[in-house]
Structure 1
């Protein structure tokens, strides 16, 4: 028997209410001082939690911050099945994270993500993973229905087409892509690639 098993089982898990309290405090802190200046120690102080608890629950600062963003700003994704490939993709584009509102406190995430590999990984794993999973479900369903060829090479790049547009727009213009821009990418690039003949 693993001698560490009893210790693991004795760990006190956070209640949903306590977890939400910590995530709300994290989001508020980052909104106040920016991502770079926010610290796990300050979150612990504000919530009267131990830093050990925060690291055990969220592993590192990037995952804590991105989880707080997801919980505060983005509702769980609904199932998407309109019966039409373009309509499914457009519906997903409309659910993707909206641009940061003008005049709202700057979170500083975009500035930090380029130089912080852990933050970039947290963005992929925590914030964007549900959207990529939804995209994969849409594509798999339309492959089964024959709308998309199973051997279409564009399938493996669909996530880059769609979510990559968010990052490219920010890099090139300094603004975040909105749903209209993502839908334009779908119509001009992604949809033709997915439905092209051999």
Structure 2
């Protein structure tokens, strides 16, 4: 399950309908058997696709599964610009992907991520990338507006802070991080760091 397509493989564009069919089948399979037991071979069998096609399109199992999860469980992130740094961060935190949205299977993703580096990378590259891009845009905009000093060292750690807070809550309390908890930590630590005087 951890093999990858050669880097030189040329991706052939799937139709939107075919891609949706494969992603739906992947999501349903992982919901049935869990992340660890799901295989690309079984997705290929269910969708009458070749494994080569799946690896060429998604590179590996983690990217295929995370893309399927994102497509099924999470709406696109809207543009965030409230005009206020805290307002922007509040909105971003409230849009952060919930590990277990109501009515959706957990897929075993959040348990496996701690021991699977490829899965962790796929989570960052596929699921969290829009949120990290939004955070970078928010910070850049408020640097331009003068809310944040351009040489503030907290800028280099904001992404780690956001994702770290998201995952560490489960480790320390056994509970999934929610928007109120993330915003409380943001208010206590990140905002003061970003707006501190020289």
TM-score, normalising length from structure 1? 0.91
> What secondary structure sits across from 2:151 in the alignment?
coil
What secondary structure sits across from 1:175 in the alignment?
coil
Aligned equivalent of 1:128:
128
Alpha-carbon contact 1:24-1:72 (below 8 Å) kept: yes
Rg comparison, structure with higher value: 1
Partner of 2:6: none
Deviations 1:59-88 (A, max 9, x none): 000000011111111122111111000000
Q: CA deviation at 1:181?
A: 1.0
Q: Runs of 4+ in structure 1 displaced over 2 angstroms?
A: 101-106
Uncovered stretches (5+) of structure 1, i.e. residues with no partner:
1-6
Contact between 1:169 and 1:177, CA under 8 Å: does it hold in 2? yes
Q: Measure, in 2, the Cα distance between the counterparts of 1:16 and 1:27.
A: 16
Mapped to 2, the partners of 1:162 and 1:87 lie a distance apart of 15
Tell me, which stretches of 5 or more residues in structure 2 are unaligned? 1-8
Listed as ranges, the matches of 1:32-111 within 5 Å are 32-101=32-101, 104-111=104-111
CA 1:78–1:29: 2 relative to 1, 3 Å: same
| Contact residue 35 and residue 108 of structure 2 kept, 8 A | yes
CA distance in 1, matches of 2:135, 2:101: 25
CA RMSD of aligned residues (A): 1.6
Count of residues in Structure 1 that have an aligned counterpart in Structure 2: 190
Which range moved further: 172-181 or 132-141? Answer: 172-181
